[in-house]
Each structure stands twice: as C-alpha cells, then as structure tokens.
Amino acid sequence: QSGYTEPSMVDELTGLYNRNWMNDKLERYLQRGNTNNQPGCLVMLEMDGYDKFSDEFGMLGADLALRSIAHSMLTCLRPDDQAGHYMGPKFSIFLPNTSSLSDAGIAGERLRIAIKNAPVVLPSGDALPVISVSLGIAQARQNDRLATLIERAMNALHQAQVSGGNCVKLETCRL
C-alpha cells in the first residue's frame, strides 16, 4: 500500500509528542494566549550528565533513562499539560493556565524529585545510577514569539546547569 502518510506526532523512543508537533502546538497556545489573555509557562528539561551516562551504560542504558524521564513526566503532569521530546536528552513541557513562575517552579520541582526517585533498571535486572535533571522555566508574555519563549527557558536551563544541575531555575524577568 502506497500513498501519502502523515508524519508521526509521537517520538518513538519516549512515547511523548515530538518536537515538530510540540512547536506547532506551542505556537497555537501562544496565539490563543495573546487573544484570550491566557497564561502559560514553558519548561525546558535536560538530563544531567547524559553523555557520560551514555558512554558508561551504552545506548540501551541511555534510552532507558530517557524513557524513565518521559514516564515520570506523564505521571506528574496535569492532563492539559503538554510534554514533548525536544531532542537528545532535552524535553519541553508547556503548562497552560499557569499564571505565575512560582507555580511553574513548584510543578518543576515536583517533577525533578519524581525523576530522581524513579528507578532505571536494565533488562538483566541491574539497577542503573539515579538520574537527575535540570529544568529552566519561562513564562509566556503578551505577544511572545515561540523562539523567544524557548530562548528564555533555555537560558534558565543553562543557569540550572552551571549552578551544578539537579535543580529548577526560573527566568530572570527583564521587561
């Protein structure tokens, strides 16, 4: 059977939405937020020490770690929150109807702890080391562009990483 097939909206590895779907969905959330003055926050999350972890435990171990992060995201987030696999060890989460960075920070901290407490086990039954993540959070602003919102969340993520990782950082507001 041949013909047009629609590109998948789900990342095969993690079972989360893929980056293209997330970007399209986030653009629509931002447009709706600008029209209806609906708040929202973007969380960028990255596994700490992914390259070293991958070198030590191979592709299977790294894939299991990413799947564990995705599973924790799905169990911790609200039904309307949108989670996606951004690329490599990075994930994005949009928290609609979240009107303050502090509320988003609480959700981010809850997720960080859940990921740290989730065991990652090889098919052999061997447990892998605890994984940790860094999170950066930015709040959508009136007339925000997706690229600028992602940039602000990535800057907050970078601040989390340079401060040692395994933490949540909120964007610094510059109006």
pLDDT of residue 3 exceeding 60: no
DSSP annotation of 120 reads -
Alpha carbons 85 and 155: distance in angstroms, whole number: 18
To which H or E segment does residue 112 belong?
A: helix 101-117
Assign 3-state DSSP to the chain and report helix, strand, coil percentages, each to 5. Answer: 45, 20, 35
Q: What is the mean pLDDT of residues 111-122?
A: 97
Where does the pLDDT of residue 4 fall: very low under 50, low under 70, confident under 90, or very high at 90 and above? low
Q: HSE of 131 in the Cβ direction (CA atoms, 13 Å)?
A: 33
* pLDDT, tens digit (0-9, with 9 covering 90-100), for 48-71: 999 999 999 999 999 999 999 999
Take residue 171 and report the two structure tokens written for it.
């964007």
Backbone φ and ψ for 169, nearest 5 degrees, come out as -125, 140
Per-residue pLDDT, 79: 94
Residue 40 DSSP SS3:
strand
Per-residue pLDDT, 38: 84
pLDDT of residue 150 exceeding 80: yes
Report the percent of the chain where pLDDT is more than 70.
Answer: 94
**Across the chain, what does the average pLDDT equal?**
92
Total-model pTM = 0.92
Q: What is the mean pLDDT of residues 73-94?
A: 95
Per-residue pLDDT, 130: 96
Per-residue pLDDT, 142: 87
Which of 2-16, 27-41, 151-165 shows the lowest per-residue confidence on average (mean pLDDT)? 2-16
Residue 126 DSSP SS3:
coil
